[in-house]
């Protein structure tokens, strides 16, 4: 399981340039006019993880299969999208399908690239997008509450629960806050997710800066950092222009280019890591002579459910998981040595998989 991140933002903030760089394609037309992205572009990228390469080297794996992350480049938003302005309806429909939202914010000055509002103010841009999402949620909730009246009167338990949650969300939205701030009890988590409110999506602010500001950021990105911290959201500083240039280079050339720019790693790596943290994701590995493979799970996943990511039959017939911590596997030189040193453990159904675990599952067919 990877995850799907929607790249959103006002027109001409660098969304499509970033998408093209991340997916190493030119599928999204990056042009200097609003709505150059008419249909959402979907691209998958391999999640870089140096641990996987190391495991494959030790095990002599013939094939390396990283886990994957999906990016969705969504049409540019304008003020009034919740009322159907611009490509608003399409934007709002597409955003419901993603796990998290990356708000790309223009944090660069460039007189040759027009801004739809005629100014550079990333905080105001973020507020525009958030406001449109909140207005769309309010409209959706009001319609749904009307449709629930009869079921609630009839004592339908699911309808009563749904009405209660919708009213909780509406209360905070009318206060100008996103629905993600609503405290949700464990018993309500499933029903809450089914509401599919736009403002419950986790948010990652992507500060798109010029090449010269890529290493240190600038005054615009500093304001975004303050805003993100106040909201409890995450942010990363990236130069979409640099990412686009890197995407055309081989690994050695890309590393040299990054060093020249004063950067230790590509923006893609930082963006994925921030996305993982945002969605509470982690990675475990399966390693053998045929292949070394990475698998993505949510933090706190138990062994049978982790096995189910590979195949549903693994979860249904789960017996136990044989696990070696990544550090032990590497320091001891592989599975057999780790086993002989007593570093391989047999874990049952209640075991919570840890990030970096090297796992082998035993199951009944």
CATH number at residue 322: 3.10.20.30
Quote the CA–CA distance of 26 and 239 in Å, as a whole number: 17
- Which pLDDT band holds residue 35 (cuts at 50, 70, 90)? very low
Quote the CA–CA distance of 150 and 270 in Å, as a whole number: 49
Average pLDDT over residues 77-87: 52
- Which pLDDT band holds residue 113 (cuts at 50, 70, 90)? low
Average pLDDT over residues 82-89: 50
Quote the CA–CA distance of 104 and 81 in Å, as a whole number: 17
Q: What is the pLDDT of residues 184-195, one digit of tens each?
A: 999 999 999 999
Specify whether 306 is located in the same domain as 261: no
Domain for residue 177, yes or no? Answer: yes
Share of the chain above pLDDT 70, in %: 88
Mean pLDDT of the chain: 86
> What integer pLDDT is reported at residue 30 of this predicted model?
40
Specify whether 44 is located in the same domain as 166: yes
Contacts of 278 (CB under 8 A, 6+ apart): 100, 202, 203, 204, 234
Q: Has residue 97 got a pLDDT over 80?
A: yes
Domain for residue 135, yes or no? Answer: yes
- The last residue of one of the domains, among 245, 278, 311, is 278
Domain for residue 284, yes or no? Answer: no
> What integer pLDDT is reported at residue 365 of this predicted model?
73
Specify whether 130 is located in the same domain as 9: yes
Average pLDDT over residues 94-117: 79
Specify whether 265 is located in the same domain as 164: yes
- The DSSP secondary-structure symbol of 45 reads E
> What integer pLDDT is reported at residue 49 of this predicted model?
87
- The last residue of one of the domains, among 220, 245, 278, is 278
Domain for residue 292, yes or no? Answer: no
Beta-strand ranges (E) seen in 23-160 are 41-46, 63-65, 68-73, 100-106
Q: CATH code at 52?
A: 3.40.50.300
Element (H, E) at 234: strand 234-238
Specify whether 137 is located in the same domain as 259: yes
Q: How many folded domains does the chain comprise? A: 2
Specify whether 320 is located in the same domain as 200: no
Q: Which residues make up each annotated binding site? A: 12-17
> What integer pLDDT is reported at residue 124 of this predicted model?
92
Q: What is the pLDDT of residues 43-75, one digit of tens each?
A: 888 888 889 999 999 999 999 998 888 888 886
CA 225 to chain CA mean position, Å: 18
Q: Which residues make up each annotated binding site for ATP? A: 12-17
Q: Has residue 38 got a pLDDT over 50?
A: no
Contacts of 132 (CB under 8 A, 6+ apart): 77, 79, 80, 81, 82, 88
Quote the CA–CA distance of 149 and 156 in Å, as a whole number: 10
> Minimum mean pLDDT among 8-17, 112-121, 340-349: which range?
112-121
> What integer pLDDT is reported at residue 1 of this predicted model?
52
Specify whether 227 is located in the same domain as 344: no
> What integer pLDDT is reported at residue 300 of this predicted model?
95
Q: Has residue 32 got a pLDDT over 60?
A: no
Please give the residue range of the domain that contains residue 355. Answer: 300-363
Quote the CA–CA distance of 153 and 158 in Å, as a whole number: 12
Specify whether 258 is located in the same domain as 330: no
Q: Has residue 111 got a pLDDT over 80?
A: no
Cβ–Cβ < 8 Å for 332, 343: yes
Specify whether 310 is located in the same domain as 245: no
Domain for residue 295, yes or no? Answer: no
Domain for residue 288, yes or no? Answer: no
* Nearest-10 crossing angle of helices 267-278, 15-23: 100
Model pTM above 0.85: no
Specify whether 151 is located in the same domain as 18: yes
Return phi, psi of residue 89, to 5°.
-60, -40
Domain for residue 231, yes or no? Answer: yes
Domain for residue 61, yes or no? Answer: yes
> What integer pLDDT is reported at residue 252 of this predicted model?
85
> Minimum mean pLDDT among 79-93, 229-243, 284-298, 304-318: which range?
79-93
- The last residue of one of the domains, among 244, 278, 312, is 278
Quote the CA–CA distance of 69 and 250 in Å, as a whole number: 21
Given 3-state DSSP classes, what are the helix, strand and coil percentages for the chain, each rounded to the nearest 5? 45, 20, 35
Quote the CA–CA distance of 353 and 359 in Å, as a whole number: 9
Specify whether 247 is located in the same domain as 320: no
Specify whether 45 is located in the same domain as 181: yes
Contacts of 177 (CB under 8 A, 6+ apart): 134
Quote the CA–CA distance of 134 and 179 in Å, as a whole number: 8
């Amino acid at each position: 399981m990877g995850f799907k991140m929607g790249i959103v933002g006002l027109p001409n903030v660098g969304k499509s340039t970033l998408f093209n760089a991340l997916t190493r394609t030119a599928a999204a037309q990056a042009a200097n006019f609003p709505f150059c992205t008419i249909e959402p572009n979907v691209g998958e990228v391999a999640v870089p993880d140096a641990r996987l390469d190391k495991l494959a080297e030790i095990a002599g794996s013939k094939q390396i299969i990283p886990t994957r992350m999906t990016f969705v480049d969504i049409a540019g938003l304008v003020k009034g999208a919740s009322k159907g302005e611009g490509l608003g309806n399409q934007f709002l429909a597409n955003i419901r399908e993603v796990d998290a939202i990356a708000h790309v914010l223009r944090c660069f000055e460039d007189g040759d690239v027009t801004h739809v509002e005629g100014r550079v103010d990333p905080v105001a841009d973020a507020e525009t997008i958030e406001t449109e999402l909140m207005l769309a949620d309010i409209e959706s909730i009001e319609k749904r509450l009307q449709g629930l009246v009869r079921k609630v009167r009839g004592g339908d338990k699911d309808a009563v629960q749904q009405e209660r949650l919708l009213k909780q969300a509406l209360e905070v939205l009318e206060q100008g806050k996103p629905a993600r701030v609503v405290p949700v009890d464990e018993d309500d988590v499933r029903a809450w997710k089914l509401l599919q409110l736009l403002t419950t999506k986790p948010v990652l602010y992507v500060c798109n800066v010029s090449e010269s500001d890529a290493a240190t950021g600038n005054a615009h990105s500093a304001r975004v950092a303050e805003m993100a911290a106040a909201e409890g959201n995450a942010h990363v500083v990236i130069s979409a222009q640099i990412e686009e240039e890197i995407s055309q280079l081989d690994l050695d050339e890309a590393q040299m280019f990054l060093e020249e720019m004063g950067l230790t790693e590509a923006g893609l790596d930082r963006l994925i890591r921030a996305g993982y943290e945002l969605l509470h994701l982690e990675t475990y590995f399966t390693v053998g002579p045929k292949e070394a493979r990475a698998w993505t799970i949510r933090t706190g996943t138990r062994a049978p459910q982790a096995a189910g990511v590979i195949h549903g039959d693994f979860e249904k017939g789960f017996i136990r998981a044989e696990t070696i911590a990544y550090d032990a596997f590497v320091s001891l030189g592989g599975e057999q040595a780790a086993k002989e040193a007593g570093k391989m453990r047999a874990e049952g159904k209640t075991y919570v998989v840890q990030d970096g675990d090297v796992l082998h599952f035993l199951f009944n067919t």
